[in-house]
A and B are shown apart, each in its own frame.
Chain A
Amino acid sequence: MHLGNLASLTLFLPEIAVTATILLLILVHVAGKNRQSAAPALLSLAGVGTALLLVALQPASPARSLFEGMVALDGFAIFFKALTALATIVVIFMSMESRELASRSQTEYYIFLLSVLLGMFLLAASTDIVMLYLALELVSIPSYLLAGYIKGRESSTEAAMKYVVYGATASGVMIYGFSFLYGLTGTTQMAEIGRALAAGKAPLPVYLASVMVTVGFGFKIAAVPFHMWSPDVYEGAPTPITAYLSVGPKAAGFAVLVRFFYTVFATPDAVAGTWKLSQSVDWPMLFGILSAVTMSVGNLIAINQKNVKRLLAYSSIAHAGYMLMGFVLLTPVGLKAILFYLVVYLFMNLGAFYVVILVANGTNSEEIADYSGLGSRAPFAAISLAIFLFALTGIPPFSGFIGKVYLFAEVINRGVYWLAVVAALNSVVSLYYYARIVKVMFLEDPKETTEMPVQAFPRAVISLLAIPTLLLGIYWEPVARVAANSVRLLAF
């Protein structure tokens, strides 16, 4: 059911909460004298916390269309809103701890961070291509600013510059694709575009448009061959932002990829929960190749990295490849696997980055060589980093394993064996470079022997990230059920 503007407002409360927090932060910034006070961080924590609570209270069914068909309120949107809000809260904790950001203006940083969050809320929910583009830019533009937030550092400025150039090109190509879709169908509503494409026959322009749109989404999720920006941006950006970009916008990118392709290029079948591809494009093959190439390139280049942030950047590319496996066949089961993996990935990847921040605070370095002897210098940090890294590899007792099982299972059930074999080989490769960090931490002699005590607060946050990473490897049923329930997309 389409809701009007006024009726939609009561179902738009999380977004309103985030917007109100952003406006409040602007006023705080103008009024406040102390640029380094912790007030903006606490204020944004309260704002995002409220938004998360409001998201949890939102009704998932029946699926509703807000603002005359601009955004959807369905289980899928609610899932991604909760996921991105959770990631933002963890990143705010990280930013409070990070020493890189201590000298910069705090309030503006959180204004940008919350703007990205607002963009991700809208991106996961948008059902109109104009709204989609607007939301994508709302995610992108503050991300450029955040990547270059440490003004004096050359690598940070370089990161922002590269990000802007790549981002502008990708979104330009994408909106050109949108213009084709609009020209072919005469509507900006994704559901109506889908219906028009299913009825008519215009294969060549549709191919062209879908490829162009894939460029824009591929840039957001950093899939090969649109990944070139990510290593430099991830290395140069402040570490909390690197962590944010590798989880938040990536999740939102997957959300929009799934929603767009489902509503535009597939039609809901009579049987509940299954979808039928309406175009003659060989999507499974196309996305299968994209997935295989993405994970292989990410993993193979990660082997040679000496900087932890760069290594995690390539590993993040590889993980986008794994997650694309769930997208290959456009089935609800595969989709559920992506959603589940994103939850698991949020905890393990943010956890790994949190430890990287703590180590950088202690040693002023992000080189893997400087992690030597961390096992004796800061046992808590070293052991938790080892947990996160083994989880990222996908070794059995950890949650990453269960995530991968779901992704592999669907591909194997549908008979795409070659992709499963490629992914399995990639997991073996990834074990090498993740385990190398663990080896440096525990088996190599430390260059310095001074202890690096971890304060109580970071200890608590790391535990909050490590416990789900361990627990979801043993008892994952509730999260898997939530993911399965969230696969329901708005469709009418």
Chain B
Amino acid sequence: MLNFVSSIDFSNPYFSVLILLVIAIAMSVGFVFLSQALGPKRYDRVKYSVYECGVEPFTSASVRISVKFYLIALLFILFDLETAFLYPWAVLFRQLGWFGFIEMAIFILILLAGLVYAWKKGALDWQ
């Protein structure tokens, strides 16, 4: 034990962090058990409901969501990112010149192929 204590490097700047960590864990765990042990226990209907305050739940929380939402979300992210790339290009348009224009045109054409594909596959129809 003495050996262990003497091996601890108290001057280490992180030693206070360790102490803080120990105290934080002890407090958070300790209060859970303390309230369990000391708190009054009175159970009634209100306590057993899902929320003690707020709206009563009227259906199950796991609802089936149409897969179309995900499709739209995916397409949105794709074309949202496209605009994110377009902004910096638009700002530097004059400096980049024709090289930048052609590079961007290829990028947009590739995305366009994807859009045509999604369109023809009916990903944009809400039926």
Contacts and interface: CB of A to CB of B under 8 A. Distances in A.
Same complex origin of A and B:
yes
Interface string B91-116: 00000000000000000001001101
Interface string A2-30: 00000000000000000000010011011
12 contacts: A23-B110, A23-B113, A26-B113, A26-B114, A26-B116, A26-B117, A27-B113, A27-B116, A29-B117, A30-B116, A30-B117, A30-B120
Nearest to B114: A26
Nearest to A5: B103
Interface residues of B, number: 6
Interface in A189-236: none
Interface in A403-451: none
Interface of A: 23, 26-27, 29-30
A30 B115 CA distance: 11
Contacts of A26: 113-114, 116-117
A27 B120 CA distance: 10
Nearest to B99: A6
Per DSSP, are chain A's interface residues mostly helix, strand or loop, or mixed? helix
A111 to B, nearest CB: 9
Contacts of B116: 26-27, 30
B48 to A, nearest CB: 36
Contacts of B117: 26, 29-30
Contacts of B113: 23, 26-27
Contacts of B120: 30
10 tightest Cβ-Cβ pairs between the two chains A and B: A30-B120, A26-B117, A26-B113, A23-B113, A30-B116, A30-B117, A27-B113, A23-B110, A29-B117, A26-B114
A336 B120 CA distance: 48
Contacts of A30: 116-117, 120
Nearest to A24: B113
B113 to A, nearest CB: 5
B72 to A, nearest CB: 19
A138 to B, nearest CB: 15
B65 to A, nearest CB: 19
A67 to B, nearest CB: 14
A81 B25 CA distance: 53
A26 B111 CA distance: 11
A27 B113 CA distance: 7
B17 to A, nearest CB: 18
B126 to A, nearest CB: 20
Contacts of A23: 110, 113
Nearest to A27: B113
Contacts of B110: 23
Contacts of A29: 117
A26 B110 CA distance: 10
A29 B114 CA distance: 11
Contacts of B114: 26
B93 to A, nearest CB: 18
Nearest to A31: B120
A27 B119 CA distance: 12
A224 to B, nearest CB: 35
B71 to A, nearest CB: 15
Nearest to A29: B117
A97 B114 CA distance: 29
Given A26-B116, A26-B117, A27-B116, 9 more contacts: A23-B110, A23-B113, A26-B113, A26-B114, A27-B113, A29-B117, A30-B116, A30-B117, A30-B120
Interface in B76-91: none
A30 B116 CA distance: 7
B110 to A, nearest CB: 6
A30 B117 CA distance: 6
A299 to B, nearest CB: 43
A202 to B, nearest CB: 16
A29 B118 CA distance: 11
A23 B116 CA distance: 11
B44 to A, nearest CB: 43
Nearest to A23: B113
B8 to A, nearest CB: 19
B121 to A, nearest CB: 8
B79 to A, nearest CB: 16
B95 to A, nearest CB: 16
B111 to A, nearest CB: 11
A315 B113 CA distance: 41
Contacts of A27: 113, 116
A27 B110 CA distance: 11
B64 to A, nearest CB: 18
Q: Which of A27, A29, A30 lies at the interface centre, i.e. has the most chain B CB atoms within 10 A of its CB?
A: A30
Nearest to A6: B99
A399 B110 CA distance: 44
B28 to A, nearest CB: 26
A304 B14 CA distance: 57
A122 B117 CA distance: 25
B16 to A, nearest CB: 23
B115 to A, nearest CB: 10
A386 B117 CA distance: 45
A403 B2 CA distance: 61
Nearest to A30: B120
A422 to B, nearest CB: 43
Nearest to A19: B110
A29 B121 CA distance: 10
Nearest to A111: B117
A251 B115 CA distance: 34
A470 to B, nearest CB: 44
